[in-house]
Every structure is written in C-alpha cells, then in structure tokens.
Structure 1
Amino acid sequence: MSVMEKDTRSVILATGQTIMSRKGFSGVGLTEILAEAGVPKGSFYHYFKSKDAFGQALLDAYFEDYLAGIDAILAKPGLTGAERLMLYFANWCENQGAFDCQGRCLAVKLGAEVSDLSEPMRLALKAGTNGIIARMQAMIEAGAADGSLRTQGSAADMAATLYYQWLGASVMVKILRMHEPFEKAMEATRLSLGL
C-alpha cells in the first residue's frame, strides 16, 4: 500500500471513528463517512470489503492507539504500580467524562451494539479489551511487588473486575450525564486496591 493509500485509509478510519463515537455503528452510513472524509464513494471498497470489514479495521486501529496510550503510562519512570493505575483511571474519567459525558470510547459506544451483529467486530472488541485488562494486570502486579497496592486474589481477576466495573460506570455516565458513577467507581477501586 502506497503512502497516499495509507493516508486515505487512515482518513476514512479517523472520520468513521469521530462520527461513530457520536452516532454508533448502525446509525451511520458509508455515504456520510466518505462525504465527511472527502473521499469518493467508489474508493471505499478499494480499502475495505464491506462496512463490517471497515468496522473491524476501525476497532483494530482504535485499540492500537488506546493500548499505546496505556503503554506510555506503563513506561513512565519513577511511578509506583498504584500511581500508574490511578493515572490510567484519571485519564479514563477525563476522556469518558468529556463532551457532556458522551466520551470517546468505542468499546463503550459500540460494544453492545455490534457484538450481536458482527462476529469479526466482536472479536476485535474482545482482543482490544483483553489487551486493556492485561495491561491493568501488569500495573496491579507491579503495585503488589512494590508494596503500593494490596489486593485479595489474583491480579488477573482484579484487573478484569476493575475493567468491568469501569466499563459499567462509563455506560452509566452516558445515561445520567453526570460524573457520579466515576466517583463511585474510583471509591470502589481505591478500596479494592487497599489505597
């Protein structure tokens, strides 16, 4: 793929992510995405076999960027495991509490919608969220090792439980359009981690 082709593909994906983070997957047609991206309609099928394939590529690109952000937190020098994990959750609150509490997370926005409609998209969501949980597990393990966290049970179980809790809080923030679910999730997180 040439540089120009990569750029066009990236523009289509970025435009799709922006629109779908507001309207969902089913609520957006390809014509709207391509018009906003300034790409001719016939070009879409040069890059993606179908809207489903586009959705999978969109989620893959989204999680690649999202996981890179977590990796940047993991790479920050001089922080304890607890500090890294709390920084991650502070970023979560900031990103998901933005735009009148409508957030930007495609796992929150598309998870329930597409998981029953598209197996490839469900698998992309599963791989991406598993990547998040694995990185949370690494932060919990580091916090247990450096003494900044105290947990009951395995780090893997704690990471999964915390992720599920925060995902639910993100949905409730969207429904209520207030930050209280994040405040409750943060309290429960701090309690669970002995902070």
Structure 2
Amino acid sequence: MTDTRQHILATGRTLVARRGYTGVGLTELLTQAGVPKGSFYHFFKSKEAFGCALLDSFVEGYAEDLAATLDAPDTNARARLMAYFDIWRARQSGEAYEAHCLVVKLSAEVAELSPAMRDVLARGVCAITARLASVIREGGADGSLPAHDDASALATTLYQIWLGASLMGALSRDTAPYDSAMAATAALIDHKGPTT
C-alpha cells in the first residue's frame, strides 16, 4: 500500500514539475500512475491533501539533499555554502524539470490557492534558511567567512535572491540570472556588513 502511495506521489511530482499544480488534473494523474480513483482517495482525501503530501515529501527529500551538501566533511563552511548554490543553479537551469525545486515552482501558484499547501512551503523555507544560517555561523567560527552579525537575515536574503533568480531564469531560459545570483552571494557572504 505504501508503494502505491509513493508511486502516486512520484508520478505527481513529475507532472507538477512540468505543468504546475493547477495544470495537472486528477484524471491525468490517475491515468499516468495507472491507479484507480479509489486508490487515490484511500491515501488522499482531496487533491489539496495530495498537494500537501507531495510538498511534504519534496521538503523531506530536499532536507536530505541539503544535509549531504551542507554537512560535507573536511570542507569549510564557505565552500559548502557555495556548493549548495552551485547545485541550485545546475538543477534550476537544467532541462530536467523533475530536478527543479517544487518550492520555487509552486510558491506563487499555491500561495493564495491553498493555505495548507502554503504552510508546508513556508515550513520548508524556514528549515532551509535556518540551515543556511547555521552554515554562515560555522563559517565565522572556522574562519572561511567573516562573523556576520545576523546570520538568519543573511540566509533569508540569499534565499530570496536565489528565488528571484530562479523566476528570472525560467523567463529568460538562460543562466545569466543564476550567474548574477552567484556573484551577489559571494559578495554578501564575504563582506561583513548589513544584509538589508
């Protein structure tokens, strides 16, 4: 049974990554997944509940990816932080839509549509920025970064820069927004000063 649930989520992840949450109908999802409607409603009470489960699953997997990059042994905090944004650039600018971040893809779409999905996204973003802030503090301790007065504010600023770069990259279909975001990131983390 859990395999069926995971299969529905994986199929939905692929479809939603390409066309967005509202662009994927329940009939199409079930057809692609090869499961009857009853199986869907056994696991999800509504499409919104499915959307929340999809985002929860993505956030959980993303946290594991985040840990693999940001907890890399024998690497200073600055290098780990820049590696995280290198991976962001590679995923978001690549042709594999399934690799794109669902937080980026769905934030604007579901913010007004579903308070429950918005809450999942907000919790995910808070967890990401908290982890980035932790690495910024580690950089101050290991000497790879200046000691920033407000690591949380800097982490939030960096995330917002990259969120904006992802939206601009989707419009322009080139890497220039990501290149600008990378330059801004390096400038901000290497300079001790106000982040706003």
Coarse TM-score class (shorter-chain normalised):
over 0.9
TM-score (norm 2): 0.93
Contact 1:144 1:150 in 2 (8 A): yes
Contact 2:71 2:80 in 1 (8 A): no
Partner of 2:90: 94
Contact 2:130 2:152 in 1 (8 A): yes
In 2, Cα distance between the equivalents of 1:158 and 1:17? 31
Partner of 1:33: 29
Matched, 1:153 2:154: no
Q: Which residue of 10, 14, 28 maps to 1:14?
A: 10
In 2, Cα distance between the equivalents of 1:151 and 1:66? 27
Map 1:51-66; keep pairs closer than 5 Å.
51-66=47-62
Contact 1:96 1:103 in 2 (8 A): yes
Runs of 4 or more off by more than 6 Å in structure 1? none
Matched, 1:171 2:167: yes
Matched, 1:83 2:79: yes
**Closer, same or farther: CA 51–100 of 1 in aligned 2, 3 Å:** closer
SS in 2 for 1:99: coil
In 2, Cα distance between the equivalents of 1:87 and 1:81? 10
| Shift of residue 109, structure 1, vs aligned partner | 1.0
Contact 2:166 2:178 in 1 (8 A): yes
| One-letter code aligned to 2:42 | H
Contact 2:14 2:98 in 1 (8 A): no
Measured on the aligned residues, the alpha-carbon RMSD in Å equals: 1.5
- Percent identity between matched residues is 48
Deviations 1:129-159 (A, max 9, x none): 1111111111111111111112643100000
Deviations 1:69-127 (A, max 9, x none): 01112332101010110110011011101118896111111100011010110000001
In 2, Cα distance between the equivalents of 1:102 and 1:65? 13
